[in-house]
Amino acid sequence: MYFLSLSVVHVVMRKEASQQIGHLRSEIASLEATYIEAKHQISARVASLDGFNQNQNKIFISKSDQSLVLRTTAE
pLDDT of residue 22: 96
What is the model's pLDDT at position 75? Answer: 53
> What is residue 57's predicted lDDT score, i.e. its pLDDT?
82
Element holding 15 (H helix, E strand): helix 2-49
Q: What is the pTM of this model?
A: 0.54
pLDDT at residue number 58: 79
What is the predicted pLDDT for the residue at 29? 97
CA Rg value for the chain: 27
For residue 41, the enclosing domain spans: 1-75
State how far the Cα of 30 lies from the Cα of 41, in Å rounded to an integer.
17
Burial (CB count within 10 angstroms: exposed 0-12, middle 13-18, buried 19+), residue 63 = exposed
Low-confidence stretches of the chain (pLDDT < 50) are none
Number of domains in the chain: 1
